[in-house]
Amino acid sequence: MSKSGLAADFLWGGAVAAHQLEGGWQAGGKGLSIADVMTAGANKVPRKITDGVQAGENYPNHSAIDFYHHYKEDIKLFAEMGFNCFRTSIAWTRIFPNGDEAEPNEAGLKFYDDVFAECHKYGIEPVITLSHFEMPYHLVSEYGGWRDRRVIDFFVHFAEVCFKRYRNSVKYWMTFNEINNQMDYMNDFLVATDSGLVFRNNEDAATREALMYQASHYEVVASALAVKMGHQINPDFKIGSMINFTPLYPASAKPADILVAEKMMQRRYWWSDVQAWGRYPVGMEAYFKQHGLRPDITAEDRIVLQEGTVDYIGFSYYNSMTIAADGASFKIVANPTLETSEWDWPIDPLGLRYALNWLQDRYHLPMMIVENGLGARDKVEADGSIHDPYRIDYLRAHIEQMIKAVNEDGVELWGYTPWGCIDLVSAGTGQMSKRYGFIYVDKDDEGNGILARSRKDSFYWYQKVIQTNGADL
Ligand code: P53
């Protein structure tokens, strides 16, 4: 135990996802992923999901920050900050370019051998997400994404190949990144990235909702099968869920506001309920009945869910959201007590302590904060330095709450990997200018730049935080 109260082997690192930093979209036999057909958007300008790759469109993930060719330099910088873990994902399309092949692509497997070896060279433990918004586009166009039960087998095969190949080089795994984003099924981006669901014009709101639940069910089944198999391949594997945790606060003390916030929390977190408990929560079963939703859930599926519960809860935390009852439904309202980022994300450090308490009480499992951070514009000074006190302030305030949750509330927390430890392509907007990194990357929204890496002020600050195991913030 150290001065901060965190365990001596607490995992400090950073998080990224393959499609947002690797580039090399066709290198080493890689296939097209759903992320490769997402155009650049902007603040409040949604990204388009095009029908295949179209001439004249800008697809920022195609080249991203070219980690594919820069990983040695980048991992060296992570080591310099003192990381003892690094969260990234395996691009499914490097391993199975179309998703439905019988045999994996050796060049893709080799790339991650090299990346993980580079991490271990510095004592950095890889923390790996299997599916982070990058499913093979072929599975989207030919199978309709996760609406098709056959996709379960493709994913489980992919998981098996990865678990076997990286049996001795990866210990910490997660199945699906932010599996619950799709709760907002009217948002084209969130359902496409989670489930490869691209809705057709005749698919109205009710159809969308039904397909989202269907796809989600197949995903939790696939996740459970992967967890069970992973434990057979290596009993030391720690395999977690990964949810986007956004606490929904009631806008007032009105009982109707309190109740709607509670009901929407149930609807937002049932994915991790299933992954942690091995069964659907009663409230969701009731919701399906009430709304005439009949997802294809077999008796065999229910056994699979029981047999593949997760070892820990991985979650992202960026902000809270505040909601009020609105007739039979609800509406999102501004929280006048919180400031917001340029992209309108509220800044709420106490919400992270709330999150850790809520998840601890609900699941009684160890946790890992696998994303947290502030997207902001950075300015490079004439001498090349980058002063980012706003980022330091955000992270410091959140780490303070995280440490309180460990010391005062007794939560079991394994690690902390803030998002986008090196600048990368924003998932939501496709921008480079929405930066999260400790490491600056010279590239702009139009794709100009020489990709040079440089250390921001926050780089030295985080280095000190890690060195003192959170005692000196
Ligand atoms: P960006 C939506 C809501 C909350 C988190 O987000 C989200 C999303 C999708 O944009 O994504 C997670 O880049 C995700 C990362 C993503 C990060 O949060 O839109 O796991 O891939 O980059 C930050 O600012």
pLDDT tens-place string over residues 396-410? 999 999 999 999 999
Angle at 195 between CA 190 and CA 200, to 5 degrees: 80
Report pLDDT digits (tens) over 414-443: 999 999 999 999 999 999 999 999 999 999
Take atom 19 of ligand 1 and give the residue whose Cα is closest.
Answer: 428
Give the residue, out of 129, 181, 433, with the most ligand 1 atoms within 8 A of its beta carbon, to mutate for a pocket test. 181
Q: Is the CB of 177 under 6 A from ligand 1?
A: yes
Pick the CATH number of 11-467 from 2.60.120.260, 3.90.660.10, 3.20.20.80, 3.40.50.150: 3.20.20.80
User: For residue 249, what pLDDT band results from cuts at 50, 70 and 90?
Assistant: very high
Give domain limits for the chain: 11-467
Q: Examine the residue annotation and report whether 371 is marked as an active-site residue of this protein.
A: yes
From 22, 118, 125, 178, the catalytic residue: 178
Annotated active-site residue 142? The verdict is no
Please tell me if the CB atom of residue 366 comes closer than 6 angstroms to any atom of ligand 1.
no
Return the pLDDT at 425.
98
Distance of alpha carbon 257 from alpha carbon 337, whole angstroms = 17
- What is the pLDDT, as a whole number, of residue 393? 98
Q: Residue 380: pLDDT above 80?
A: yes
Q: Whose CA is nearest to atom 10 of ligand 1?
A: 428
Is the shortest distance between the CB of 423 and ligand 1 below 6 Å?
no
Q: Is the pLDDT of residue 288 over 80?
A: yes
Q: Does the beta carbon of 316 lie inside 6 Å of ligand 1?
A: yes
Binning pLDDT at 50, 70 and 90, where does residue 1 land?
A: low
Instruction: Quickly tell me which residue has 């939703």 as its tokens.
Output: 293
Candidates 316, 377, 431: which one to mutate for ligand 1, based on the most atoms within 8 Å of Cβ?
A: 316
Cβ contact 196:179 at 8 Å: no
Tens digits of per-residue pLDDT, 339-379? 999 999 999 999 999 999 999 999 999 999 999 999 999 99
The whole-model pTM stands at 0.98
pLDDT of residue 301: 98
Q: 87 in ligand 1 pocket by Cβ < 6 Å?
A: no
Q: For ligand 1, atom 21, name the residue with the nearest CA.
A: 427
Q: Where are the beta strands (DSSP E) in 165-319?
A: 172-176, 238-244, 248-250, 312-316
169-207: pLDDT as tens digits: 999 999 999 999 999 999 999 999 999 999 988 889 999
| pLDDT more than 90, % of the chain | 99
Catalytic residue selected from 106, 371, 381, 446: 371
User: How far from the centroid of its chain's Cα atoms is residue 72's Cα?
Assistant: 23
Contacts of 376 (CB under 8 A, 6+ apart): 341, 342, 388, 390, 391, 434, 435, 436
